Chain A
């Protein structure tokens, strides 16, 4: 990476580094309620996963209903590595996260090879099916690897995720996503989304690129899953079921398909709204959240089906390649 490129990276990451530093100081000083600090980290992690689904669906046009499965693969993968060999090492943690992401990428590659020739709705149902298969695998994982916990859940994971990790990874993935999207490769993916036949006629190897887009997006989910595993230090297969795939799909659609700023805002909005309602509603009525949220969802779709953000991005996520 040349000097100019490194400076570009530094300029992009500077606000994230500052936020990471501030957040770490505030939380270790006890100035902010730990609960909300965790929620903030969850929002960052969710945003990374959602960004991945946006690459897959928003940018490449692949309807995936199994995103949570890859989140889970990354989570269990990273957690297993840390639990068995990592101790408290930050370096090992980083390696585990990347390994989890790589594992998710590998599985995504295999799944994609077999399913990406299917057309949209069929692809959705195939990925949905894969997601359910993975949930069954997670439920029965203790049959071949007892540390994974199976249906009882996986414990003993060190709590490695902190504000710094969450914020910096979010920044890094935003950087990567932005640069990919605003490049010839991003344009190739969007061309496939817009008109696969015309893209092929223009010389783009559509299957190879669809596979690439799918693998990249799932790797985002994999790393996010690893961060998630080490945030709450407990994993249960129900965290990675169809509902969770639906959650992240809703975030991406609400934010606006193919819009990174929208994904960012919708992720934070979703997580904080969910938690905010949990606090705001009287204890007997907590489940009312899940009555209000779908109503909100339906109303949003009726009024603004293209999502919150249309085409416009925040300045830091725009095409700055001039």
Chain B
């Protein structure tokens, strides 16, 4: 059963065909990866799925319900969360507030209650605070909860972004290059971590990555993109040996084998 189905996605920017007929599926609870050279359209796929761009053609459905054309906040509420390639934290907010902000859509009190400081407000705030603390602790960020996001070390920032994404209790989590800038041992820890949150939060995960060790190591299925199209899909083993994939990354082998 698929949680996400995208078919025939096309997106142009001016004259550039960023996406040229992309089909994609992610199964419930599946851990899938998306790889491809820079500029192949991977992040654009994310942006279309999450509603930041409207596709020129094609549809996206989540759990059978059509989400293409909906605004980003609606799509988020329906169960998709994401992180960004260049980390988009709320830089001048504390780590705690970054997560609490993402808890806002489920807030249990209204603005009037906030202004009046009613019992409902205090109860709601307690709930948000607990939820945020749980997430921060899981990501080992609880000691830095009052630090401003812009002052956090890079690795913590990446983890905070994932923690914030999980605050909305998504069914599908999109991770855009979560291992960027990490060394080998950090990548190893990240791999375990992704597997753990997948089980713990019962998520389907689709991730974009360039670090092959991570992709081949934990992804159950992989989709390969180049020039805005899907050029291959399959298990890590199938992908590893696919000539089209090798060509996309390394270039065509010339006749003389140079």
Contacts and interface: CB of A to CB of B under 8 A. Distances in A.
- Direct touching of A and B (C-beta under 8 Å): yes
Interface of A: 1-2, 4-5, 8-9, 175-176, 179-180, 183-188, 190-191, 194-195, 197-206, 212, 321
A198 B89 contact: yes
A4 B120 CA distance: 11
A179 B115 contact: yes
Contact of A202 (B111, B114, B118, B164): B164
A187 B100 contact: yes
Contact of A4 (B71, B84, B119, B164): B119
Contacts of B73: 200-206
B84 A198 contact: yes
B88 A197 contact: yes
A212 B72 CA distance: 19
Interface of B: 50-52, 71-73, 76-77, 81-82, 84, 88-93, 97, 100-105, 107, 109, 111, 114-119, 121-122, 124-125, 128, 164-165, 167-168
Question: Lowest 4 A-B CB distances belong to which pairs?
Answer: A203-B105, A183-B114, A194-B90, A198-B88
Contact of A191 (B93, B109, B122): B93
Contact of B124 (A9, A184, A191, A198): A184
A184 B91 CA distance: 17
A184 B88 contact: no
A195 B118 contact: no
A197 B52 CA distance: 8
Contact of B115 (A2, A4, A180): A180
Interface centre among B76, B90, B107, B122 (most CB of A within 10 A): B90
B115 A184 contact: no
Contacts of A184: 100, 103-104, 107, 109, 114, 124-125, 128
Contacts of A202: 73, 76, 81, 101-102, 104-105, 164-165, 167-168
B65 to A, nearest CB: 16
A91 B7 CA distance: 63
A185 to B, nearest CB: 5
Nearest to B110: A185
A301 B107 CA distance: 39
Contacts of B102: 202-203
B100 A8 contact: no
A294 to B, nearest CB: 29
Nearest to A194: B90
Given A180-B114, A201-B81, A202-B104, 5 more contacts: A194-B91, A197-B84, A197-B88, A202-B102, A204-B105
Given A184-B103, A203-B105, A204-B105, A179 B91 contact: no
B101 A190 contact: yes
Nearest to A199: B101
A5 B114 contact: no
A317 to B, nearest CB: 14
Nearest to B122: A321
B202 to A, nearest CB: 19
A81 B115 CA distance: 28
Interface centre among A187, A188, A195, A199 (most CB of B within 10 A): A187
B76 A201 contact: yes
